[in-house]
Protein backbone atom coordinates (compact mmCIF):
# COMPACT_ATOMS: atom_id res chain seq x y z
CA UNK A 1 0.00 0.00 0.00
CA UNK A 2 1.52 3.32 -1.08
CA UNK A 3 -0.04 6.29 0.65
CA UNK A 4 1.71 8.79 -1.62
CA UNK A 5 0.67 7.22 -4.91
CA UNK A 6 -1.27 9.63 -7.15
CA UNK A 7 -5.04 9.26 -6.90
CA UNK A 8 -8.09 11.30 -7.77
CA UNK A 9 -9.49 13.47 -4.98
CA UNK A 10 -12.28 11.37 -3.45
CA UNK A 11 -15.84 12.59 -2.99
CA UNK A 12 -16.69 12.67 0.72
CA UNK A 13 -19.36 10.16 1.62
CA UNK A 14 -22.37 10.51 3.90
CA UNK A 15 -22.73 9.00 7.38
CA UNK A 16 -21.95 5.26 7.53
CA UNK A 17 -24.85 2.81 7.34
CA UNK A 18 -25.16 -0.44 9.34
CA UNK A 19 -24.11 -2.46 6.29
CA UNK A 20 -20.85 -0.47 6.18
CA UNK A 21 -19.66 -2.01 9.47
CA UNK A 22 -16.22 -3.62 9.24
CA UNK A 23 -15.13 -6.60 11.34
CA UNK A 24 -11.85 -6.32 13.28
CA UNK A 25 -8.72 -8.02 12.01
CA UNK A 26 -8.88 -11.65 13.22
CA UNK A 27 -6.40 -12.67 15.88
CA UNK A 28 -4.89 -15.36 13.64
CA UNK A 29 -4.11 -12.88 10.83
CA UNK A 30 -0.63 -11.44 10.38
CA UNK A 31 -0.88 -7.67 9.85
CA UNK A 32 2.16 -5.42 9.81
CA UNK A 33 2.59 -2.46 12.15
CA UNK A 34 2.51 1.13 10.91
CA UNK A 35 4.40 3.25 13.45
CA UNK A 36 5.65 6.27 11.47
CA UNK A 37 3.61 9.28 12.57
CA UNK A 38 3.60 10.75 9.06
CA UNK A 39 2.22 7.53 7.58
CA UNK A 40 -0.45 7.40 10.28
CA UNK A 41 -1.36 11.03 9.57
CA UNK A 42 -1.59 10.33 5.83
CA UNK A 43 -3.83 7.31 6.44
CA UNK A 44 -6.18 9.23 8.74
CA UNK A 45 -6.28 12.13 6.27
CA UNK A 46 -7.31 9.82 3.42
CA UNK A 47 -10.13 8.45 5.57
CA UNK A 48 -11.20 11.98 6.45
CA UNK A 49 -11.24 13.15 2.84
CA UNK A 50 -13.34 10.21 1.66
CA UNK A 51 -15.63 10.03 4.69
CA UNK A 52 -15.24 6.25 4.75
CA UNK A 53 -16.84 4.33 7.59
CA UNK A 54 -15.00 3.83 10.86
CA UNK A 55 -16.21 0.89 12.94
CA UNK A 56 -15.56 1.14 16.68
CA UNK A 57 -15.71 -1.76 19.12
CA UNK A 58 -15.77 -1.79 22.92
CA UNK A 59 -14.35 -4.86 24.70
CA UNK A 60 -16.80 -7.76 24.78
CA UNK A 61 -19.21 -6.15 22.28
CA UNK A 62 -19.43 -7.43 18.72
CA UNK A 63 -21.76 -4.64 17.60
CA UNK A 64 -19.96 -1.85 15.78
CA UNK A 65 -20.43 1.79 16.69
CA UNK A 66 -20.19 3.80 13.49
CA UNK A 67 -18.71 7.15 12.59
CA UNK A 68 -16.17 8.82 10.30
CA UNK A 69 -13.20 11.13 10.64
CA UNK A 70 -14.24 14.77 10.25
CA UNK A 71 -10.81 16.40 10.22
CA UNK A 72 -7.13 15.74 10.86
CA UNK A 73 -4.50 18.10 12.26
CA UNK A 74 -1.09 16.44 11.72
CA UNK A 75 0.74 19.17 13.65
CA UNK A 76 -0.86 18.54 17.05
CA UNK A 77 -1.24 15.62 16.08
CA UNK A 78 -4.95 14.88 16.52
CA UNK A 79 -8.12 14.11 14.61
CA UNK A 80 -11.83 14.59 15.20
CA UNK A 81 -14.25 11.65 15.09
CA UNK A 82 -17.75 12.42 13.85
CA UNK A 83 -20.07 9.88 15.46
CA UNK A 84 -23.31 8.76 13.87
CA UNK A 85 -26.43 10.27 15.40
CA UNK A 86 -27.16 8.78 18.82
CA UNK A 87 -23.81 6.95 19.09
CA UNK A 88 -21.68 7.52 22.19
CA UNK A 89 -18.40 5.86 23.16
CA UNK A 90 -18.26 4.03 26.50
CA UNK A 91 -15.26 4.77 28.76
CA UNK A 92 -12.18 2.65 28.27
CA UNK A 93 -10.38 1.10 25.29
CA UNK A 94 -11.93 1.27 21.82
CA UNK A 95 -10.80 -0.61 18.70
CA UNK A 96 -11.11 1.39 15.47
CA UNK A 97 -11.35 -0.44 12.12
CA UNK A 98 -11.54 0.93 8.56
CA UNK A 99 -10.83 -0.02 4.96
CA UNK A 100 -8.00 2.06 3.52
CA UNK A 101 -7.93 1.36 -0.22
CA UNK A 102 -6.83 -2.28 -0.42
CA UNK A 103 -5.95 -2.70 3.27
CA UNK A 104 -7.75 -3.08 6.56
CA UNK A 105 -6.51 -0.50 9.08
CA UNK A 106 -6.95 -1.04 12.82
CA UNK A 107 -5.80 0.79 15.95
CA UNK A 108 -6.75 1.18 19.60
CA UNK A 109 -7.26 4.25 21.75
CA UNK A 110 -8.42 4.51 25.35
CA UNK A 111 -9.89 7.23 27.54
CA UNK A 112 -11.53 7.19 30.97
CA UNK A 113 -14.14 9.62 29.65
CA UNK A 114 -14.33 10.54 25.96
CA UNK A 115 -14.76 14.31 25.86
CA UNK A 116 -16.80 15.83 23.04
CA UNK A 117 -16.21 19.23 21.48
CA UNK A 118 -18.04 22.08 23.31
CA UNK A 119 -21.69 22.07 22.31
CA UNK A 120 -21.15 19.29 19.76
CA UNK A 121 -21.75 15.90 21.40
CA UNK A 122 -21.26 14.02 18.12
CA UNK A 123 -17.68 15.34 17.65
CA UNK A 124 -14.85 13.79 19.71
CA UNK A 125 -11.24 15.07 19.42
CA UNK A 126 -8.66 12.29 19.65
CA UNK A 127 -4.89 12.00 19.53
CA UNK A 128 -3.09 9.90 16.92
CA UNK A 129 -2.52 6.26 17.87
CA UNK A 130 1.09 5.24 18.44
CA UNK A 131 0.74 2.43 15.91
CA UNK A 132 -1.78 0.90 13.51
CA UNK A 133 -2.17 -2.68 12.33
CA UNK A 134 -2.40 -2.95 8.53
CA UNK A 135 -3.65 -6.09 6.81
CA UNK A 136 -3.17 -5.68 3.08
CA UNK A 137 -5.97 -7.41 1.20
CA UNK A 138 -3.70 -7.99 -1.80
CA UNK A 139 -1.28 -9.82 0.47
CA UNK A 140 -4.00 -11.99 2.03
CA UNK A 141 -3.48 -15.63 1.28
CA UNK A 142 -5.59 -16.58 -1.75
CA UNK A 143 -5.61 -20.25 -2.61
CA UNK A 144 -7.17 -22.17 -5.43
CA UNK A 145 -9.45 -24.95 -4.22
CA UNK A 146 -7.76 -28.37 -4.10
CA UNK A 147 -8.24 -30.77 -6.98
CA UNK A 148 -10.89 -33.35 -6.19
CA UNK A 149 -12.36 -31.31 -3.33
CA UNK A 150 -16.04 -30.40 -3.38
CA UNK A 151 -15.86 -26.71 -2.46
CA UNK A 152 -19.27 -25.22 -3.29
CA UNK A 153 -21.32 -22.04 -2.86
CA UNK A 154 -25.08 -22.51 -2.53
CA UNK A 155 -27.57 -19.63 -2.45
CA UNK A 156 -30.94 -18.40 -3.71
CA UNK A 157 -31.29 -15.17 -5.70
CA UNK A 158 -34.61 -13.81 -6.96
CA UNK A 159 -36.19 -17.17 -6.20
CA UNK A 160 -33.65 -19.09 -8.30
CA UNK A 161 -31.31 -21.63 -6.64
CA UNK A 162 -27.61 -21.63 -7.47
CA UNK A 163 -24.93 -24.19 -6.66
CA UNK A 164 -21.56 -23.11 -7.99
CA UNK A 165 -18.06 -24.51 -7.45
CA UNK A 166 -15.42 -22.33 -5.82
CA UNK A 167 -12.35 -21.52 -7.87
CA UNK A 168 -10.43 -19.85 -5.03
CA UNK A 169 -10.96 -18.21 -1.66
CA UNK A 170 -9.24 -15.85 0.77
CA UNK A 171 -9.97 -13.74 3.85
CA UNK A 172 -11.51 -11.11 1.58
CA UNK A 173 -13.85 -13.24 -0.48
CA UNK A 174 -14.24 -16.08 -2.95
CA UNK A 175 -14.02 -16.70 -6.66
CA UNK A 176 -16.87 -18.74 -8.17
CA UNK A 177 -16.98 -20.34 -11.59
CA UNK A 178 -19.78 -21.51 -13.81
CA UNK A 179 -20.78 -21.99 -17.42
CA UNK A 180 -21.99 -18.81 -19.08
CA UNK A 181 -25.43 -20.32 -19.55
CA UNK A 182 -25.71 -20.72 -15.75
CA UNK A 183 -24.61 -17.15 -14.97
CA UNK A 184 -27.93 -15.38 -15.42
CA UNK A 185 -28.30 -12.58 -12.86
CA UNK A 186 -24.69 -12.78 -11.65
CA UNK A 187 -23.70 -9.20 -12.40
CA UNK A 188 -21.29 -6.77 -10.78
CA UNK A 189 -22.71 -5.02 -7.71
CA UNK A 190 -25.36 -7.65 -6.93
CA UNK A 191 -25.65 -8.76 -3.31
CA UNK A 192 -25.76 -12.46 -2.48
CA UNK A 193 -27.46 -13.12 0.86
CA UNK A 194 -26.82 -16.07 3.20
CA UNK A 195 -24.51 -17.95 0.88
CA UNK A 196 -23.58 -21.40 2.17
CA UNK A 197 -19.88 -22.06 1.56
CA UNK A 198 -18.69 -25.65 1.88
CA UNK A 199 -14.93 -25.36 2.40
CA UNK A 200 -13.97 -28.94 2.98
CA UNK A 201 -14.76 -31.49 5.70
CA UNK A 202 -16.58 -29.99 8.69
CA UNK A 203 -16.06 -26.42 7.44
CA UNK A 204 -19.29 -24.65 6.50
CA UNK A 205 -19.68 -20.86 6.52
CA UNK A 206 -22.81 -18.78 5.93
CA UNK A 207 -21.93 -15.33 4.59
CA UNK A 208 -23.30 -12.36 2.69
CA UNK A 209 -21.30 -11.33 -0.36
CA UNK A 210 -21.21 -8.74 -3.12
CA UNK A 211 -20.19 -9.51 -6.70
CA UNK A 212 -17.21 -7.28 -7.49
CA UNK A 213 -16.16 -8.57 -10.92
CA UNK A 214 -17.02 -11.06 -13.65
CA UNK A 215 -14.52 -12.37 -16.17
CA UNK A 216 -15.06 -14.86 -18.97
CA UNK A 217 -12.43 -17.41 -19.92
CA UNK A 218 -12.18 -20.64 -21.88
CA UNK A 219 -11.47 -23.94 -20.18
CA UNK A 220 -9.95 -26.74 -22.26
CA UNK A 221 -12.25 -29.28 -20.60
CA UNK A 222 -15.33 -27.20 -19.77
CA UNK A 223 -15.49 -24.66 -22.61
CA UNK A 224 -16.67 -21.07 -22.02
CA UNK A 225 -16.68 -20.29 -18.32
CA UNK A 226 -17.32 -17.24 -16.13
CA UNK A 227 -15.23 -16.31 -13.11
CA UNK A 228 -17.31 -14.41 -10.52
CA UNK A 229 -15.28 -12.56 -7.89
CA UNK A 230 -17.20 -11.95 -4.65
CA UNK A 231 -16.32 -9.89 -1.58
CA UNK A 232 -17.49 -10.82 1.91
CA UNK A 233 -19.83 -8.30 3.53
CA UNK A 234 -19.62 -7.84 7.32
CA UNK A 235 -18.02 -11.22 7.90
CA UNK A 236 -18.02 -11.88 11.69
CA UNK A 237 -14.57 -12.16 13.33
CA UNK A 238 -15.11 -15.83 14.21
CA UNK A 239 -15.79 -16.61 10.55
CA UNK A 240 -12.67 -14.72 9.44
CA UNK A 241 -10.68 -16.72 11.98
CA UNK A 242 -12.14 -19.96 10.66
CA UNK A 243 -11.15 -19.11 7.09
CA UNK A 244 -7.68 -17.95 8.16
CA UNK A 245 -7.03 -21.24 10.00
CA UNK A 246 -8.16 -23.22 6.95
CA UNK A 247 -5.96 -21.16 4.62
CA UNK A 248 -2.96 -21.67 6.87
CA UNK A 249 -3.61 -25.41 7.09
CA UNK A 250 -3.95 -25.79 3.32
CA UNK A 251 -0.89 -23.63 2.66
CA UNK A 252 1.23 -25.92 4.86
CA UNK A 253 -0.06 -29.07 3.16
CA UNK A 254 3.06 -30.66 1.52
CA UNK A 255 0.87 -31.92 -1.33
CA UNK A 256 0.49 -28.32 -2.55
CA UNK A 257 4.26 -27.90 -3.02
CATH, residue 164: 2.40.10.220
**Angle CA 8–10–15, to nearest 5:** 170
Does the global pTM surpass 0.75?
Answer: no
Q: What is the mean pLDDT of residues 235-256?
A: 74
Q: Are residues 202 and 106 part of one domain?
A: no
Domain-ending residue, one of 119, 137, 155 = 137
What is the domain count for the chain?
A: 2
Question: pLDDT at position 15, please?
Answer: 86
Q: Are residues 179 and 132 part of one domain?
A: no
Question: pLDDT at position 195, please?
Answer: 95
Domain-ending residue, one of 114, 137, 160 = 137
Q: Are residues 24 and 124 part of one domain?
A: yes
For residue 9, tell me if it sits in a domain. Answer: no
Would you say residue 217 has pLDDT above 60?
yes
Domain-ending residue, one of 110, 137, 164 = 137
For residue 31, tell me if it sits in a domain. Answer: yes
The enclosing domain of 127 has a CATH number of 2.30.110.10
Q: Are residues 154 and 90 part of one domain?
A: no
| Residue 167 vs residue 209, higher pLDDT | 209
For residue 1, tell me if it sits in a domain. Answer: no
- Phi and psi of 85, rounded to 5°? -55, 130
Q: What span, in angstroms and rounded, lies between the C-alpha atoms of 111 and 127?
A: 11
Q: Are residues 131 and 153 part of one domain?
A: no
Cis (ω within 30 of 0) for the bond into 77?
Answer: yes
Q: Are residues 156 and 69 part of one domain?
A: no
Q: Are residues 155 and 128 part of one domain?
A: no
Q: What is the mean pLDDT of residues 65-86?
A: 93
Contact between residue 84 and residue 56 where contact means Cβ atoms under 8 Å apart: no
Q: Are residues 123 and 179 part of one domain?
A: no
Q: Is 68 helix (H, G, I), strand (E, B) or coil?
A: strand
Q: Are residues 22 and 122 part of one domain?
A: yes
Q: Which domain holds residue 126?
A: 18-137
| Residue 33 vs residue 242, higher pLDDT | 33
Q: Are residues 147 and 112 part of one domain?
A: no
The tally of CA atoms less than 13 A away on the side-chain side of residue 213 is 7
Amino acid sequence: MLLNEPIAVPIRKGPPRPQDAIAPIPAVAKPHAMTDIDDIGDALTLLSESGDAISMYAPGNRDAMLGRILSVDPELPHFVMEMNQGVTLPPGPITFVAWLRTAKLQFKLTDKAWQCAPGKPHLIPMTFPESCDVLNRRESERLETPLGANFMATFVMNGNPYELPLHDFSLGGVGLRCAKKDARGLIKGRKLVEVRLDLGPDTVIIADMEIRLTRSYRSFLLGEQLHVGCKFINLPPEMESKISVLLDKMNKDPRRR
